Structure 1
């Protein structure tokens, strides 16, 4: 994709905590202190006088922004100051804080706080769930404390969604038998909440369980309703995700708390780049209300707006929810609506956490407490920039994430050096070779203490040999038969030692590894660079997800190598299995299940890394199984994530066509879908099934049209094939493959305008498709339009210079455009192709007419330049003539028996004044013509021989010496004698009489 130059949305101008606050007190931006006393956020708000406000903000900082939480002493003082008689809301907040801290997110969503938030009102059919939740936020949040309470519910919902779909473990009890309904369905009562049960039960009177984590989610009405509300810009979310309602709940809560004036993603106005701003803003609340339905945004009170401005965590959690929403969508292109929202919310995060943050100073002589306070602010700023860079990656903003990653490195004070050192990779390697390595040093004040602790822990682990019980993902090691070492063994012992890094530092290294992957071709050098970063991260195993991400990236790299492919597949399988609590091939003991990290540990750093969702990991594993021929296992994995086309292909590849057809027919008996009918059509080759798929989709299922087009193409009915492909691109115009097929068929039908349009669509959508550019040029050449064909040929050769047919097209086009220098280049390239042993038979030779056109055109251009007395043109023409001479010499060495090449040489040498070479060229032409059998009776060849003899005799007579005249006499006599012998008892051609006349003149001269 082309790099898009779009600017990040400007930071908001509201009166949140920032360096531009009206207060002159430095404590306003001391985030680690979070002392809001005496700070007036809104003149109309008295929340600062509420004893619950300080307590609620403390809990928000401690549990939603743990990077900035207080010390134990400060926490105790703050909690004592907040004690009072009205403790109900504080009890609820403390309970939510405990549940979030323990990773009990479902319990948090069943808590009293959740019940009070949702109330007892049943969902109205006229409202979407997102609208209902936003209205509840507007009515329930009347103070800062209630805002923090709802904010925690939103975090619980988002974390539960991420746990079920990204990190695991799932909520089933593994080997434990469920004895009560709540254990049987861990999401009972929260997916959905009782207020939405009315919508759930409207499923034809059935009572299906929704999103049980022990099986594939049921596609009941409630599940589809949630997915329909999460659809953005026409892109549908992943159908097999678990509990999408949790994402919908968190998105609705955070958009209300973070940016109340923004309409949600379901409205057209969400496409407008929006920011929280004053009353006169172009995109303020009033302007948006005028442009959109007045019911798209709830009516928020002044106290609610004032309370939300005191929340520090809402923006960053809203940003995380937006990114999770984008990753749930299945479209090839990112959502513009969500991208605009992400720019806006991250801009506010950067303003809040990154403005006026001092850089790390290694010579700082402050106290340890002051250093730690500063580092916490710097680490938070680094985390925000890191998450912003990853968000740009998820939204396909190529090249933009690197700047954010570098800012994250700067804020964290991380010192990174990519260097080389001598080391060995294999067990039996004798000589050390240069190896790439990454050295990194953390700026955290605690790292020196942790370094000593890590060293002591490592010694204890070595003594007891209990590394298998570590709370980290399982790392698959090489088999004993493998010659590769687990890690590079460097010659210098210091190169094998690494300083301890924080989780944030390791996440930054992974982001730099990701940037190398995204900005470089996947070749050996890129793999070496990525491997160096990954090895540095894998030296530590402090965080579950960071370690898992490094293992997965390394497995992806090793899967392309012969010696590492087996371990890579097993590693990917192990990481996929650790999402579940059940016993699997790579998770085969109860001990390994019990020792896995709890959800809160896995989720701690999820937003600072790029880890695939469960369906993405299973798809990747299935594709790798299929690639190495394990078709049945691949089909089972594809079936689990409901990729039915791939299921069918795998069973067909395994020779189990009947099994594939059985699965498809079973799915059709449960639920008729266009995709399943199309799959059945591919298995049975019955076009009626494709027609049924189109009938179910009301003609909107483009894949069925493509299948029909392929069906008729295989039968040779190009007209019907073209019609079906045309219908397919009308339904789905952004499909370059179908456009290409349509263009190729149109060329065979002689419909050149349609072909040109089709191939033009291909190159617009896929500019790197060299064959499409070549076909665009071919159509223009057919239409006698070389000026339009020329740029298309240049693009085609830019993408693929090894296609000799494109070079032939360029040769003809350049001759038509009188670009003789480039035509000569094309000739040399074609001769290079012809010289290759494996391609010499396929490559066509250079035609005589092309060389004649180049020679004649170059000489004519020189004559015109001389006639016009243009110095620059004369110099250019002379350079062209020199290249023509080189071309003729090269062709002459390979085509010695071709008379026409010597004729061209003679003509060219005569025109440029090399008369001494003309006689030699003509004699070689004469011998080449006479080497053709039967030339005497072939009128064309006879005419050529007589012409050459006439030209040679003229040169001899011009020279005038007796010796030359005698040579000329014998030459003519020999030719005349052969002609007369061939025409014995027949009329001798007229050319012979001309030669006899010349012979008489020569004899007189002698």
Structure 2
């Protein structure tokens, strides 16, 4: 064979032609075809003789009604070699994919139309662009989710899918291109839809062929991580991103360095910084351009001196904040030895692929961190590290977009945030940089499409209260759901309803429908093309008209031929709010079967199962919730509750007993289910740290499974959250007593607690009992309970802990505090409740006995005087009960104390 399949495949994957390619090989027609693809000459590729053979329709009749799959056989009669034929198909698939990306993502405008690529029989009405595009958009709907109907040249993406679905025996990189195509396809859908099982595993064999090229291996790992990120599989995505950094040799560390952030700051403070360094690469790297290298050095000293092939970076121009943190230290505060040599204020430029990895890690921080200020502070150093040294048009665009998002919530930066986003949108159609540079790292970043960036700008306007500007953008993009929200925010629901009804009844038509009708397309074909969008509009009308919601949702379900997940989600949610949980379950089960990636649907389904007391169904639903969104603390809590109810519910069902509600652990719950509940609550508390109810459940379950140390921690959190509002009620006194019992059950002397002849210092302490648990219980009393709340039971429990330590004086003081807060200590003169008086008598006798027991052990303490004072004071307040039998006991006790003097 005169050409190398592997070599051309690697060129396509890397996105850059080999400058040192030998002339005889580079002159081959198939090599020239690959070169045109990576250099962005898509018109030459898609109108070549190969393309005319491949994209010639073999169908002669009913072309308008047949799907694309039945229109072509994708054969190349002029190519006799099987490997060469596969390679040509792959090259043309990549050309179609990148042409589609150019027109919808990176710009500039595409110089070839699908109607120039596809050859149909003479007289076919599908020769116009609108018909081709609408046909493709209809076929790109997937998993019950419609594709965005204003996407341009959707035919090219559909052809890519069909070409990659053909069998390939010689081209091993086909699964990778399927991965890239899927990433792009997912961004066209309203909601992410899962791929068939085994999709990602099909990519794994590729690592063996690219192990010698660390950059290619890094790209593959990075793209797999971006797909997991799109599905909100944050842990898996993070693992891929870290593996990608390891593959490319990127070293990075988040640390601190002394510096200033404002113009008038006098004192240097430690500022968060990302230290990062790329590995050394040879001169023949497929990633760097010498002109970009030189330009980045100039821009580092002056950001305004940007080259013509980079997006405009707007300056902040604030009277207080510096353009970027000014580091005054030449060394980081603390770091590893590998990065200790880096100067925080002058770090070396990073390789563009490593910049992509840092931006992806930054995305993952957004997904896995709680929604608070620390998230923004963590993300900023990643973005700043990339922006400082712009190396590639697409990568720099992504970095500026992330910075714009970070700055959108701060008063001093919100103006630049909005203007920067507008500038990024405006640059798309321009030709200020080469297409090959824009495409080089496109697959390694999560750059939004043109319409998504405009939608983001409209949402930014909406958050600033500029509703009219947002409305104009949404109407231009024909995003009718957002248009309706704008009118609702202006308290004009009637206007929103009118727009949706006009669309459904044909009085207001979407752009592609107007073009299609103008071309005299048949009504039957139009209805086929519009079913997904019509279903969505009926769902939207159901949201706007609650009185007719059921009718509208059911009509959407019927129009979509029972494929609209949105219709079933909406209908299930409506039945749930109306209390018809059986119907809600039926609808939501259909919805999650169509699209199982939406955690909200699973959550409502789980709640519906709870109302129907179907604990197993609820357990499965909440399990799916937390598998989709690991940060959903409420779902973790509900999952724990289901584990606790499963065995108890089964036992009651066997005994014919009714189910009961409540937060207590049902009787009959097995230890294994309690342990599962404990783990679920522990995971959920990471993301619902302020939820005292979850901490309360966690404390109770921890006590049941023997995790007493965790029960201490939970009780401390509950007190911190609730003590200021409800005082001593925030303490579970029974739990406190059980914790003290667990400690005092062991011998007070640590050496006595160790079996055999060992010493306490050599023993392994169990953190849930005895001396291992003691520090946590002691800390619970000293730092959480006693500074905030008090009650007789709390003081008595504390006194028992002090007694175990032989701290007699402190224990006696705690018992006296308990007495003062009890019935006897708070007894007032004139009270007539004989029951309370008798209880108080018992407390007096108890405290006197304690004084007699502990008093002699406290040096210099006159416990007899204290005892006589307590008895005399109480008898003086309760003379009204002199006729009661217990009065004699008090008199005898008083006489006994006097006689001992």
Q: TM-score, normalised by structure 1?
A: 0.64
Where do 1:968-983 residues align within 5 Å? 972=871, 975-976=874-875, 978-981=877-880
Report the CA distance shift for 1:630/1:57 in structure 2 as closer, same or farther (over 3 A).
same
Where do 1:672-683 residues align within 5 Å? 673-683=534-544
Asked whether the equivalents of residues 965 and 1002 of structure 1 are also in contact (C-alpha less than 8 Å), the reply is yes
- Measured after TM superposition, the shift of residue 323 of structure 1 is 0.6
Question: Equivalents in 2 of 1:471, 1:955: separation in Å?
Answer: 86
Where do 1:727-876 residues align within 5 Å? 727-732=587-592, 734=596, 735-744=598-607, 755-756=618-619, 758-778=621-641, 780=644, 781-784=664-667, 785=669, 787=671, 788=674, 789-817=677-705, 820-834=708-722, 840-841=725-726, 844-855=729-740, 859=744, 876=769
Indicate the residue corresponding to 2:140 in structure 1: 227
Question: Equivalents in 2 of 1:893, 1:544: separation in Å?
Answer: 61
Asked whether the equivalents of residues 438 and 536 of structure 1 are also in contact (C-alpha less than 8 Å), the reply is no
Where do 1:230-309 residues align within 5 Å? 231=142, 239-253=149-163, 260-261=168-169
Question: Equivalents in 2 of 1:707, 1:325: separation in Å?
Answer: 27
Find the partner of 1:210 among 131, 136, 146.
Answer: 131
SS in 1 for 2:323: strand
- Measured after TM superposition, the shift of residue 342 of structure 1 is 3.9
Asked whether the equivalents of residues 323 and 391 of structure 1 are also in contact (C-alpha less than 8 Å), the reply is yes
Question: Equivalents in 2 of 1:452, 1:850: separation in Å?
Answer: 70
1:596 aligns with 2:432: yes
Report the CA distance shift for 1:778/1:199 in structure 2 as closer, same or farther (over 3 A).
same
- Measured after TM superposition, the shift of residue 391 of structure 1 is 2.4
Find the partner of 1:400 among 229, 233, 240.
Answer: 240
Question: Equivalents in 2 of 1:913, 1:63: separation in Å?
Answer: 78
Q: Which string of whole-angstrom CA distances, capped at 9 and with x for unpartnered residues, describes residues 138-167 of structure 1?
A: 544215887776665445433322221222
Indicate the residue corresponding to 1:21 in structure 2: none
SS in 1 for 2:501: helix
Indicate the residue corresponding to 2:404 in structure 1: 555
Q: Which string of whole-angstrom CA distances, capped at 9 and with x for unpartnered residues, describes residues 540-588 of structure 1?
A: 5xx54344344334434444554333223222222223333xxxxxxxx
The 10-residue stretch of structure 1 (97-106 or 156-165) with the greater mean CA deviation from structure 2 = 97-106
Question: Equivalents in 1 of 2:445, 2:868: separation in Å?
Answer: 92
Indicate the residue corresponding to 1:568 in structure 2: 417
Find the partner of 2:312 among 457, 462, 474.
Answer: 474
1:530 aligns with 2:382: yes
Q: Which string of whole-angstrom CA distances, capped at 9 and with x for unpartnered residues, describes residues 312-363 of structure 1?
A: xx6668744641333212425455454345445x45xx63x765xxxxxxxx
The 10-residue stretch of structure 1 (548-557 or 97-106) with the greater mean CA deviation from structure 2 = 97-106
Asked whether the equivalents of residues 517 and 526 of structure 1 are also in contact (C-alpha less than 8 Å), the reply is no
- Measured after TM superposition, the shift of residue 669 of structure 1 is 1.9
- Measured after TM superposition, the shift of residue 945 of structure 1 is 1.7
- Measured after TM superposition, the shift of residue 247 of structure 1 is 2.7
- Measured after TM superposition, the shift of residue 804 of structure 1 is 2.4
Find the partner of 1:187 among 87, 93, 113.
Answer: 113
When the two chains are superposed, the root-mean-square deviation of aligned CA atoms in Å is: 5.5
Report the CA distance shift for 1:692/1:456 in structure 2 as closer, same or farther (over 3 A).
closer
Unaligned runs of 5+ in 2: 229-235, 331-342, 507-529, 645-663, 757-762, 857-861
Question: Equivalents in 1 of 2:894, 2:119: separation in Å?
Answer: 114
Higher gyration radius (CA): 1
Report the CA distance shift for 1:708/1:942 in structure 2 as closer, same or farther (over 3 A).
farther
- Measured after TM superposition, the shift of residue 118 of structure 1 is 4.4
Question: Equivalents in 2 of 1:642, 1:432: separation in Å?
Answer: 51
- Measured after TM superposition, the shift of residue 623 of structure 1 is 3.5
Report the CA distance shift for 1:989/1:825 in structure 2 as closer, same or farther (over 3 A).
farther
Question: Equivalents in 1 of 2:436, 2:899: separation in Å?
Answer: 114
Indicate the residue corresponding to 2:890 in structure 1: 995
Report the CA distance shift for 1:122/1:667 in structure 2 as closer, same or farther (over 3 A).
same
- Measured after TM superposition, the shift of residue 626 of structure 1 is 3.2
- Measured after TM superposition, the shift of residue 942 of structure 1 is 1.0
Question: Equivalents in 2 of 1:674, 1:746: separation in Å?
Answer: 27
Q: Which string of whole-angstrom CA distances, capped at 9 and with x for unpartnered residues, describes residues 722-778 of structure 1?
A: 642553144316343344345556657776666555444433443432223333444
Indicate the residue corresponding to 1:615 in structure 2: 451
Asked whether the equivalents of residues 247 and 325 of structure 1 are also in contact (C-alpha less than 8 Å), the reply is no
Asked whether the equivalents of residues 631 and 650 of structure 1 are also in contact (C-alpha less than 8 Å), the reply is yes
Q: Which string of whole-angstrom CA distances, capped at 9 and with x for unpartnered residues, describes residues 814-864 of structure 1?
A: 4445655544444444333356xxx5459942144444444456556769x
SS in 2 for 1:170: coil
Question: Equivalents in 2 of 1:853, 1:862: separation in Å?
Answer: 17
The 10-residue stretch of structure 1 (57-66 or 724-733) with the greater mean CA deviation from structure 2 = 57-66
Asked whether the equivalents of residues 907 and 918 of structure 1 are also in contact (C-alpha less than 8 Å), the reply is yes
Unaligned runs of 5+ in 1: 1-40, 42-47, 83-89, 173-185, 202-206, 212-216, 262-308, 356-380, 581-592
Report the CA distance shift for 1:523/1:970 in structure 2 as closer, same or farther (over 3 A).
closer
Question: Equivalents in 2 of 1:469, 1:791: separation in Å?
Answer: 55
Question: Equivalents in 2 of 1:260, 1:487: separation in Å?
Answer: 52
Find the partner of 1:684 among 545, 566, 583.
Answer: 545
- Measured after TM superposition, the shift of residue 405 of structure 1 is 4.7
Report the CA distance shift for 1:557/1:194 in structure 2 as closer, same or farther (over 3 A).
same
Question: Equivalents in 1 of 2:396, 2:784: separation in Å?
Answer: 62
Report the CA distance shift for 1:466/1:665 in structure 2 as closer, same or farther (over 3 A).
same
Find the partner of 1:384 among 194, 216, 220.
Answer: 216
Asked whether the equivalents of residues 176 and 203 of structure 2 are also in contact (C-alpha less than 8 Å), the reply is yes
Indicate the residue corresponding to 1:323 in structure 2: 180
Asked whether the equivalents of residues 59 and 70 of structure 2 are also in contact (C-alpha less than 8 Å), the reply is no
Question: Equivalents in 2 of 1:637, 1:606: separation in Å?
Answer: 26
Indicate the residue corresponding to 1:877 in structure 2: 770
Where do 1:902-981 residues align within 5 Å? 902-904=795-797, 924-928=817-821, 929-933=824-828, 936-951=831-846, 972=871, 975-976=874-875, 978-981=877-880
Question: Equivalents in 2 of 1:765, 1:78: separation in Å?
Answer: 48
Q: Which string of whole-angstrom CA distances, capped at 9 and with x for unpartnered residues, describes residues 415-473 of structure 1?
A: 999999887765566788776676779755489x997998799999x99x997892443
Question: Equivalents in 2 of 1:654, 1:75: separation in Å?
Answer: 66
The 10-residue stretch of structure 1 (422-431 or 561-570) with the greater mean CA deviation from structure 2 = 422-431
Find the partner of 1:159 among 84, 98, 112.
Answer: 98
Asked whether the equivalents of residues 315 and 323 of structure 2 are also in contact (C-alpha less than 8 Å), the reply is no
Report the CA distance shift for 1:512/1:123 in structure 2 as closer, same or farther (over 3 A).
farther
Report the CA distance shift for 1:824/1:241 in structure 2 as closer, same or farther (over 3 A).
same
SS in 1 for 2:130: coil
Indicate the residue corresponding to 1:628 in structure 2: 464
Asked whether the equivalents of residues 830 and 878 of structure 2 are also in contact (C-alpha less than 8 Å), the reply is no
Asked whether the equivalents of residues 158 and 246 of structure 1 are also in contact (C-alpha less than 8 Å), the reply is yes
Indicate the residue corresponding to 2:334 in structure 1: none
Q: Aligned residues, how many?
A: 793
Report the CA distance shift for 1:857/1:240 in structure 2 as closer, same or farther (over 3 A).
same
Question: Equivalents in 1 of 2:639, 2:887: separation in Å?
Answer: 52
Question: Equivalents in 2 of 1:677, 1:768: separation in Å?
Answer: 33
Asked whether the equivalents of residues 52 and 118 of structure 2 are also in contact (C-alpha less than 8 Å), the reply is no
Report the CA distance shift for 1:847/1:933 in structure 2 as closer, same or farther (over 3 A).
farther
Q: Which string of whole-angstrom CA distances, capped at 9 and with x for unpartnered residues, describes residues 671-702 of structure 1?
A: 67332222222222223433433444566645
Asked whether the equivalents of residues 871 and 894 of structure 2 are also in contact (C-alpha less than 8 Å), the reply is yes
Question: Equivalents in 2 of 1:109, 1:973: separation in Å?
Answer: 107
Indicate the residue corresponding to 2:360 in structure 1: 514
Where do 1:892-903 residues align within 5 Å? 893=786, 898-903=791-796
- Measured after TM superposition, the shift of residue 393 of structure 1 is 2.5
The 10-residue stretch of structure 1 (119-128 or 940-949) with the greater mean CA deviation from structure 2 = 119-128
- Measured after TM superposition, the shift of residue 914 of structure 1 is 7.0
Question: Equivalents in 2 of 1:416, 1:949: separation in Å?
Answer: 68
